[in-house]
Each structure stands twice: as structure tokens, then as C-alpha cells.
Copies of this chain bind each other. A is one copy, B any other.
Amino acid sequence: MHSTPGSTTDRVLGILDLFTEAAPLWTAEAMMERLGATRSTLYRHLRALTDAGFLAPAGGAFVLGPRIVALDRQIRVTDPLLRVAPAVMAGLRDAVAGTQLLCRFYGTRVLSIHEEKSDPRIRTSFDRGRTFPLFRGSASRSILANLPQAELRRLFLAHASEIAAAGLGGTWPEFRDGLKAIRLRGHAILSDIDPEVIGASAPIFAAPGLVTGSLVLARLKQEVTERDLDHLAAMVKETTARISAALQGLQA
């Protein structure tokens, strides 16, 4: 074979990479061409994915399958963070007057896992399932600032240019000390992703010192004053403290 690296399994799972928001529907023919796979091999792989429910035939083409939806439900039902946080967030609706985003950290990406929206004008489709880059956005910042040193160093070595581009410093001490300041402050305020929206975030801990996610309280930037931001910051710190406590109570 030529330009297809990785094992068979990687190639099979790689098929799922084709299915994006922009291209949610693929015919076997199109996949063959795109992947440079032969007909029998591709169909064998499609069958494996279809049998497992990750793909489903839809009128001559394939779409992402029901298993994904079912597995997402399992995650929702079993995630301890989702057992405690949504209720707390619902109680904050009116006080925030914007949008709240609960995020979870997955080693390399930050994922929004729950949204509580009260300002319909914020049309950031910050849905559950949206991923954020680790070095941009308020949610990620609060997480990053609370990662263990060893992990930070690894990240710095692997992503120096991204880190510099995000204004997080060009040297390791700059990076580390900047994050330390955020950690000590206890919250991060950023308008980094959508320029019309500004968010205050704070970390959520699954155990003392072990950051597992963050909460963002966001509002339309042009409508908030300095005082509002201070208020949001205080609120998000207080709220994440409560969520962390509840989370750790669950596990005990």
C-alpha cells in the first residue's frame, strides 16, 4: 500500500474522520476515492462500523450512526460532573444573564459538556460537544492554569508556537509564571474566541489539586462594565467551589 499509515484499526476508525459538519453524508464511492481504498476493503470496513452502529446507511450513502447517540447518553448519565453541576447552573440563570458553559478536560482537548443559556442573543452554538483549543478561550485557561507542572512542561515543549501565538509567553518561565498568576487569582477573564462575548471562568476539581474541568459565565462584551466582570468573577469562583465540593462529596 501507499499513503495510508497506521494499523487496520486506525484506518477503520479513520473513516469516521470523514464525517464532518460540512460533509455529514458520504457515499461508498466518494469514500473510496478520498481514502484511496479498494472497494472490497472499504465495504468490509463500512460493515464493521455499521454493525457496531457507528455508521448507518441513509439512502445510498452513510451517516453517523445511532450508537454514537446512545453512547453519548451513557456518558451523560454516568458523568458525576453532570450529576451535580446542571442544577447549580440552573440556579444561576437570572444572575448571569448570559450563557454558562460547563467544560471538561480530556488531556488534550477541552470539551463543552453542558450549556445553560439565558441570553438568546448569544448565538454561539456552544453546544454540548463543542471542543476548544487548549490554549485559547476562558474555559481552557482556567484548566491550564491548574495543571500539574510536569504536564505543563510537556505541553510547552510540544506546543511552544501555539502557546506563544496565544499570548501565553515565549519561554517556559513566562508560560509557567503567567499561569501561576491565574491560578492564584482563581479565575480567568477572556474574550478570546468570539470577540463579541466575554467570559469569566474558574476551575473545577475532582479531588484537591486535580482539575477536571471548568465553568464559564459569559455575556455580551459590549454590555458589561468592569464592575459586572468583577461580579461574574466572584460568582464563578463561588459556584465552581460549590460544584467541586459536591463532586468530591459524591466520591466519598
Interface range, A side: 35 or more
CB pair A107 B57 closer than 8 Å: yes
CB pair B76 A129 closer than 8 Å: yes
Bound-state CA distance A127–B19 (Å) is 24
Bound-state CA distance A51–B24 (Å) is 22
Report which of B10, B12, B72 forms a contact with A72, defined as CB distance below 8 A: B72
Q: Please provide the chain A residues from 113 to 155 with a CB less than 8 Å away from any CB of chain B in the complex.
A: 113, 125, 127-131
Bound-state CA distance A71–B72 (Å) is 9
Question: In the complex where A64-B75, A66-B111 touch, is A52 in contact with B19 (Cβ < 8 A)?
Answer: no
Question: In the complex where A9-B45, A48-B7 touch, is A72 in contact with B74 (Cβ < 8 A)?
Answer: no
A225 in the interface (beta carbon within 8 A)? no
Using Cβ atoms and an 8 Å threshold, which residues of chain B touch A56? 106-107
A13 in the interface (beta carbon within 8 A)? yes
Report which of B48, B74, B107 forms a contact with A64, defined as CB distance below 8 A: B74
CB pair B21 A77 closer than 8 Å: yes
Q: Please provide the chain A residues from 66 to 110 with a CB less than 8 Å away from any CB of chain B in the complex.
A: 66, 68-78, 104, 106-107, 109
Q: Please provide the chain A residues from 1 to 58 with a CB less than 8 Å away from any CB of chain B in the complex.
A: 7-10, 12-13, 16, 19-21, 24, 45, 48-49, 51-54, 56-57
Report which of B45, B66, B68, B71 forms a contact with A109, defined as CB distance below 8 A: B66
A65 in the interface (beta carbon within 8 A)? yes
CB pair A69 B113 closer than 8 Å: yes
Report which of B53, B78, B130 forms a contact with A24, defined as CB distance below 8 A: B78
CB pair A131 B78 closer than 8 Å: no
Bound-state CA distance A241–B64 (Å) is 26
Report which of B45, B76, B127 forms a contact with A76, defined as CB distance below 8 A: B127
CB pair B129 A65 closer than 8 Å: no
The chain B residue sitting closest to A72, CB to CB, is B72
Report which of B8, B54, B109, B129 forms a contact with A73, defined as CB distance below 8 A: B129
CB pair A70 B111 closer than 8 Å: yes
CB pair B77 A127 closer than 8 Å: yes
Using Cβ atoms and an 8 Å threshold, which residues of chain B touch A113? 69
Beyond A68-B68, A69-B75, A74-B129, 15 additional contacts (C-beta under 8 Å) are A9-B45, A10-B48, A19-B71, A21-B78, A24-B75, A53-B106, A57-B107, A63-B75, A63-B78, A66-B106, A71-B72, A71-B129, A73-B128, A73-B129, A73-B130
